[in-house]
Amino acid sequence: MIEQTREIVLNKFTRENGYEFDSEVIYGDTDSVMIKFGVDNLADAMKLGKESSDFVSTHFKKPIKIEFEKIYFPYLLMKKKRYAGVIWTKLDKYDKIDTKGIENVRRDNCGLVKELIDTVSDYLLY
């Protein structure tokens, strides 16, 4: 389903189809697909995120429904399963920094490493 979602998005959201940029799937794993639409503002990104989730959902049998959840802006992708970004679910205010797989959320590091990575993440992302 992730591969099918990727193909649907890449074929629909293109300049050829009237969109400002060609979309790019930058991450997809297990239960999520992260798409770069190329727009430079949150309102357009949210609009395209909702539009893409609704469009992709029409290609799957019910009860499968793809949901638009959030925008990461800015977003740092280190490698598969290792990323950080500021989450936006509404246009007026960000929610929080979300990190996956990097040292501040791993349990095999000391508290100093967590504190250091949290501080650096705040400086980079906020």
pLDDT at position 31 is: 84
Who's near 120: CB < 8 A, 6+ residues apart? none
User: Are residue 80 and residue 64 in the same domain, yes or no?
Assistant: no
User: Are residue 20 and residue 6 in the same domain, yes or no?
Assistant: yes
- Tens digit of pLDDT for each residue in 74-85? 999 998 888 999
User: Are residue 62 and residue 78 in the same domain, yes or no?
Assistant: no
User: Are residue 14 and residue 38 in the same domain, yes or no?
Assistant: yes
Question: In terms of residue numbers, what domain contains 45?
Answer: 1-69
- Tens digit of pLDDT for each residue in 95-124? 999 998 888 777 788 888 889 989 999 999
User: Are residue 45 and residue 81 in the same domain, yes or no?
Assistant: no
Q: How many domains does the chain have?
A: 2
The region of weakest confidence among 51-55, 80-84, 85-89 is 80-84
Confidence of residue 28 (pLDDT cuts 50, 70, 90): confident
User: Are residue 65 and residue 6 in the same domain, yes or no?
Assistant: yes
**37-59 CB burial, b ≥16 within 10 A, e <16:** bbbeebeebbebbeebbeebbee
